[in-house]
Amino acid sequence: MSREYLKKATLTAQSHASEVHDTVKTILADIEAGGDAKAMEYAAKFDKFEGNVLMTPEEIEAACARVPEKLKADIRFAQDNVRRFAEAQKATVSDVQLEIVPGFIAGQKAIPVDAAGCYVPGGRYSHIASAIMTVTTAKVAGCRHITACSPPRPGEGVAPAIVYAAHISGADSILAMGGVQGVAAMTYGLFGLPRANILVGPGNQFVAEAKRILYGKVGIDMIAGPTDSLILADATADPFVVATDLVSQAEHGYNSPVWLVTDDRDLATQVMEMVPTLIADLPELNRDNAAAAWRDYAEVILCADREEMAACSDDYAPEHLTVQAADLDWWLERLTCYGSLFLGEETTVSYGDKATGTNHVLPTSGAASYTGGLSVHKYMKIVTWQWATREGSKPIAEATARISRLEGMEGHARAADVRLAKYFPDENFDLTADE
């Protein structure tokens, strides 16, 4: 298939990754060895905050009181949507059991992890929605203890709206600590917190790398890179809406890729002309981020037809995938690799990022080719169990003994032999691996 790049990225999400890895590895090792004191040392250096690290109930109450009632209503609206969607997800997971052979029962149980650590970005932007997305789903899953961790601002602490969102969503503790030190504190159980069984939530490249390095010592939602978004648009799409949506996602950060894939050259040309003007009209921080992301990471790809567009999208496996094209049912059936899908002009990634109920913690950097985003299921362990009568274990034991011997695992075979000998002493069994 031929794909014409009308705009080609000069950098990728993996650019400069090795420098970040070395820095994060050093910080994690220092904090693991030095505990609370070393974490506080890094917090003083990076967070520049001198207040309580673990917020008291009184501090949480005071922060919540500072949130305007109008914003509280919006946060409650979004949190209710996320909670109801998470509850619907949880209903899809059930305990099951099956009689494998008469008298031998095997089953499945879904058990929530004990402690969840939810990272909520608060640096460039106050990610109120991330507090809702991560804490609410952990609460619905049934986690016993949930820590929300967010960077404090010098002299202010954690943004009051983040505190309010985390509090009403069910956080048991709120940790005023950012970056690698915050992730480490939850992982190692510092400041009297329980050790997290799973770390979730978005963050900058340092937070993402900390989670990647710690994976195995602790569970994580996914290995994440910078947020990315792809729009599939045909001749029926509104170029201004397409351009606006691209810019809205590019403002996330200087290294946040956005991609337009289309089969209409005129649409592509119009969008490319509009984007710089839309970026220039943003506030300074947003403008600088979006300008760098568009300059260095954005791509505009022209395809022959919608099938080639879909194939191109699946190759990119974007975190956010928007379709602004005719015949939305066809696209829903055809597309297979994305974190979250937004069908039609009437919805947008911004809706999913903030308030629709679907989770905005999603796979990036092509990970959508093999995993989905954060959900109730990520906080739950699917475990199995079995129980048998003596008669029910009989055919299982025979097969186990013979298969084990064929594999050369005599110890396994004898664990089956001993049960057959004990339960059926008057019977003879052929337990060899011979023909």
Active site amino acids: 319-320
204 known ligand binder: yes
227 known ligand binder: yes
Distance CA 139, CA 247 (A): 33
338 known ligand binder: no
Distance CA 176, CA 174 (A): 6
Close Cβ partners of 73 (under 8 Å, ≥ 6 residues apart): none
CA distances from 212 to 83, 221, 258, 286, 426 (A): 28, 10, 23, 27, 57
3-state secondary structure 146-189: EEEEECCECCCECCHHHHHHHHHHCCCEEEECCHHHHHHHHHHC
Return the amino acid letter for 202.
Answer: P
316 known ligand binder: no
User: Which residue in 398, 386, 29 sits closest to 214, CA to CA?
Assistant: 29
407 known ligand binder: yes
* Assigned token pair, 331: 């696209």
Residue with tokens 């609206």: 77
16 known ligand binder: no
137 known ligand binder: no
379 known ligand binder: no
289 known ligand binder: no
Query: Which residues does residue 153 pair with via DSSP β-bridges, in sequence order?
Result: 157
Distance CA 120, CA 158 (A): 10
108 known ligand binder: no
Annotated binding-site ranges for Zn(2+):
249, 252, 353, 412
Annotated binding-site ranges:
119, 181, 204, 227, 249, 252, 320, 353, 407, 412
Annotated binding-site ranges for NAD(+):
119, 181, 204
Annotated binding-site ranges for substrate:
227, 249, 252, 320, 353, 407, 412
